[in-house]
Structure 1
């Protein structure tokens, strides 16, 4: 399952996949595979993304709906 919430927050903040991949120390292809759900993020990776985007990890990775209107 693709992580639409993560992608939505990343795009809302104007951050490219390349930047997150660099923060995680992984390739763009690896990051893309994780964001699209082909492979999973480790807990450490999820925490780093959460911290960087300043969004609670639960909201990024466990939310069932994307509702960015209430976060702006």
Structure 2
């Protein structure tokens, strides 16, 4: 399992479910838009603190970001 790819796909999926842009989502998470873009393009590994910020901004449990649905 490529955890960076799974995480990035799930961030995008849940962000799209909320119907918000990367820019708005980055604002909600307290992160930069290019950082979110890098995550969704599988270009960045991230810290546990930022994983929690992302889950909180998506209003989901953290573990959901690591479930591989493929």
Question: Is TM (by shorter chain) over 0.5?
Answer: yes
Tell me the TM-score normalized by structure 1: 0.72
Matches for 1:52-63 after TM superposition, within 5 Å:
52-60=57-65, 62-63=66-67
Unaligned 5+ segments in structure 2 are none
Gaps of 5+ in 1: 67-72
Instruction: Tell which structure's C-alpha radius of gyration is larger.
Output: 1
Query: How far does residue 34 in structure 1 lie from its aligned partner after superposition?
Result: 1.6
Alignment length, in residue pairs? Answer: 64
Question: Scaled by the length of structure 2, what TM-score is found?
Answer: 0.74
**Superposition CA RMSD, Å:** 1.7
Contact 1:5/1:65 (<8 A) preserved: no
1:38 aligns with 2:58: no
Give the distance between the partners of 1:52 and 1:13, measured in 2 at CA.
Answer: 10
Higher helix share: 2
Equivalent position of 2:68 in the other structure: 64
